[in-house]
């Protein structure tokens, strides 16, 4: 795995783990530096530190020693997304008509979250998203991505699914249209 110092100017990477403890770690998370977040190295100071990165649409200068951000390859993302899909499909098989299932991950990568749910709903037409109210963000269309800098929590994704009753109630919804 690479650390932030190994990522060259112009290269992109994804955070696997933040090194650090206590207030420093929380500060980095508040800045949006959490597991699964992609970033791009914009420039490096003449002596190599700090490093300026683009993360979540804003520029951030960070010292290498304060946050060793490690790489997570696209292959690893695909493996995790496939595993998430298998877990969701297996759990759904045990659900009775009218039953509800909460699919939750501790990553903010869409590939492991909403993309998995969309694919599942496409293949399992007897399921639909079920809107719910989040304490952190209010009403949802049946799913939400929680971010440290917006919701004062770690990064999570939550979707609430329901298997339709035998009479076809709660027809499958498009995740983009509620």
Catalytic residues, by residue number, are 106
Cβ atoms of 116 and 145 closer than 8 Å: no
Q: Which residues pair with 40 in a beta bridge?
A: 12, 54
CB atoms inside a 10 Å sphere around CB 163: 18
User: Alpha-carbon distance 147 to 153, whole Å?
Assistant: 6
State the DSSP string of 9-70: TT-EEE-------HHHHHHHHHTT--TT-EEEEEEE-TTS-SEEEEETTEEEEE-TTT--PP
Cβ atoms of 107 and 68 closer than 8 Å: no
């Amino acid at each position: 795995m690479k650390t932030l110092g190994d990522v060259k100017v112009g290269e992109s990477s994804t955070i696997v783990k933040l090194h650090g403890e206590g207030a420093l770690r929380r500060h980095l998370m508040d800045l949006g530096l959490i597991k699964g977040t992609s970033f791009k190295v914009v420039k490096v100071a003449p002596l190599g530190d700090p490093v300026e990165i683009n993360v979540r649409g804003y520029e951030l200068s960070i010292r290498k020693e304060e946050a060793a951000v490690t790489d997570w390859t696209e292959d690893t993302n695909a493996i995790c997304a496939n595993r998430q899909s298998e877990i969701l499909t297996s759990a759904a098989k045990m659900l009775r008509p009218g039953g509800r299932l909460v699919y939750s991950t501790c990553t903010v990568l869409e590939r492991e979250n909403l993309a998995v749910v969309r694919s599942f709903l496409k293949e399992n037409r007897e399921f639909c998203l079920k809107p719910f109210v989040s304490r952190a963000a209010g009403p949802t269309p049946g799913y939400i991505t929680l971010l440290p800098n917006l919701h004062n929590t770690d990064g999570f994704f939550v979707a609430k699914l329901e298997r339709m009753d035998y009479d076809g109630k709660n027809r499958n919804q498009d995740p983009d249209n509620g």
